[in-house]
Amino acid sequence: MSAPVVPFGARVQAWSRRREVRGVLLTWLVLTVLLCLFAFVPARIMGTPASPTKQAIESTMTVFTLAAAPVAALVWAIALYSLIRWRHRGAGPPPDGPALRSHGLASGLWVGVSSVLCLFLLVWGFVEMQSLSASASAADPLVVNVTGQQWVWDFTYPQQGGVQSDQLYLPVDRPVVFHVTSEDVIHSFWVVQLGIKVDANPGQVTQTSVTPDRIGTYDVRCAELCGLLHADMETQAHVVSATDFTSWLRANGGQH
């Protein structure tokens, strides 16, 4: 004679009454709230974004952290509760606990929730990539050739008569395409507040693009360990008005 089938709702209700389940869930709830509050911290400490690319990076970091918070909190909650309540204090080896893989409810919830989160993050990533790709293909971009070498950056403006500078000057609200290379070892061209970072490889040209949307002075750094003075391989990016950019070009012998 087969055992009676217990309704799913009754099994969930009975499972939720167990002391250890309530303890883990309470710990999970507290940790989830704390991690969700922390999710907004990285974007704030990264500085004011100066391009849609940087804004997309910050929003993606925040959303991904919020999505991951409940999962991380559950893992931590089980670990903490196990350490406090289920710690083995005997002389012999601890007994084996029940295998979660044989618990249909726990396994189903884990697989289902994880699948939904992964699908959400995949769709979010595709949407953001499509948005940035569309903005990068705008008409009339400013082309800047970027060359890294130990331990300086060189910027050349081929459309403006080949003007060269050791500091980067960009007009606000105009798409920019960077052609990046290196003269010696691998460097990494990183304009922090613009949210772009791409390797500078010797003998190769890599490309990245951005549209600065905030006037100001920002940091240009090398993000690849490139030798003794790697930490000193930094300069500044000046995002200026279109009029000021034209004046800078003319002052350096270039043409608009």
Q: Average pLDDT by consecutive 10-residue portion of the chain (256 residues)?
A: 50 57 84 88 80 86 85 87 76 68 71 83 78 63 93 92 91 92 94 91 92 92 92 94 92 74
76: preceding bond cis by omega (within 30 degrees): no
pLDDT confidence of residue 17: 58
| Residue 37: both structure tokens together | 């509050």
For residues 59 and 53, give the distance between their C-alpha atoms in angstroms, rounded to a whole number: 10
Residue 38's H or E segment, with its range, is helix 19-38
Residue 92's H or E segment, with its range, is none
pLDDT confidence of residue 60: 83
Q: Which of 94, 85, 67 minimizes the C-alpha distance to 24?
A: 85
Could you tell me which residues come within 8 angstroms of residue 116 by beta carbon, excluding any fewer than 6 positions away? none
234-240 and 163-165 as β-strands: parallel, antiparallel, unpaired?
unpaired
| Residue 127: both structure tokens together | 């949407």
Over the range 85-118, which residues count as b (16 or more CB within 10 Å of their CB) and which as e? eeeeeeeeeeeeeeeeeeeeeeeeeeeeeeeeee
- What are the CB-based long-range contacts (under 8 Å, 24+) for 55-59? 55/195, 56/128, 56/131, 56/132, 56/195, 57/195
pLDDT confidence of residue 98: 61
| Residue 173: both structure tokens together | 């609200």
Q: Which CATH architecture has domain 142-251?
A: Sandwich (2.60)
pLDDT confidence of residue 139: 67
Span(s) in the chain for CATH 2.60.40.420? 142-251
pLDDT confidence of residue 223: 92
pLDDT confidence of residue 81: 83
Q: How far apart are the first and last CA of the chain?
A: 90
Cα three-residue angle 188-218-145, rounded to 5 degrees: 45
Strands (E), the chain: 142-149, 152-157, 163-165, 168-171, 176-182, 187-191, 196-200, 206-210, 216-222, 234-240
Q: How many CB atoms lie within 10 A of CB 50?
A: 26
Q: What are phi and psi of 18, to 5 degrees?
A: -70, 140
